[in-house]
Amino acid sequence: MGVSLVEFEIGPNPPPRLDKALGRDVPEDAALSRSRLAKLIADGAVCVDDTIVTDPRFRVAEGAQVAVTVEVAEESHIGGEDIPLDVVFEDDDLIVINKPAGMVVHPAPGTPTGTLVNALIHHCGDSLSGVGGMKRPGIVHRIDKETTGLLVAAKSDRAHHHLADQFAAHTVERRYIAICYGVPDANDPRLRGIKGTSFEAGNILKVQTMLGRHKTDRQRQAVSFTNGRHAVTRARILEPLGTPPVAALIECWLETGRTHQIRVHMAHCGHSLIGDPVYGGRRKLSVKAIGEGGVAAVASFLRQALHAATLGFEHPVSGEDLAFEAEIPADMSGLLRALGSDG
């Protein structure tokens, strides 16, 4: 494996710790994140005034000459695959994809191939400058296999670090379109009696719980009020569906981003997503309300009716505010028509 040498000088008034000083002064075009620099320090790849320093707390002085030995990013062990991608935006630092239903984001024991990562490695080719020393896309968030919509991946270590920080700080805007059983309306007294469920101004449903692994089914998530990770979902009705309404087109947005969060929270409040095979169950809807065609469409919709429609974040390099939208996919549009949507 080849190496490159990144050389620079510590500027005025440096932070007291070496790791923080390097993070401030390392040239931007080196694309070295703080976490990558910390590993390089620990690996003995950082020299300060010709002396190897492995203590991240080392006090470095203004004017110190730094040399960082960086291994050139190696090819990923994950193979690239020529899988068509709906690319919404791409530049040197990141790529935004409109993911189809049925595609897993990252290879796992059950799905080693055919994933978004396999597709991105092939699509991006040599434009992947390396994340964590490996030529691979940096996945900073995921959407479920059968959920459609927008997802951003980093093409460089620098972009990966900054995007991850935005997701950790919950400053990324993510809005989803979903079709649920029933109508989550503030006028429903049943909803007000469910723990963790409340309403905000504008008939906005708020579900606030903790989420963690299900006690007996490790593939599922479960609501808890004693352990797990804090999770907040909000939802508003876009259109009641049926006469009288027996379902609804809703918009959901996340204050936090946990595994299966929208699906679990909507099921918790009694408004599971149509087609959800894990949390939804199968409900008999009134033929009088939606007709034979509507009943048949619901019965034959075999994935959760959930679409990541909006994604907004700050560009990790330019600082520009970016916002993207993806239209509702054809299968959800067909379901809405069958349920009598006006849209």
Q: Would you say the C-alpha torsion 255, 261, 262, 266 has a positive or negative sign? A: negative
Q: What is the dihedral of CA 161, 166, 170, 175, to 10 degrees?
A: -110
Whether 144 is catalytic is: yes
Catalytic residue among 19, 93, 144, 331: 144
Return the DSSP state at 272.
P
> How many whole angstroms separate alpha carbon 315 and alpha carbon 309?
19
> How many whole angstroms separate alpha carbon 191 and alpha carbon 56?
52
- Give every CB contact of residue 18 below 8 A, 6+ residues apart in sequence: 41, 46, 48, 53, 55, 56, 57, 58, 59, 60
> How many whole angstroms separate alpha carbon 17 and alpha carbon 150?
39
> How many whole angstroms separate alpha carbon 199 and alpha carbon 236?
10
Query: How is the beta sheet containing 3-9 ordered, strand by strand?
Result: 3-9, 65-71, 46-48, 51-52
Give the residue numbers marked as catalytic. Answer: 144
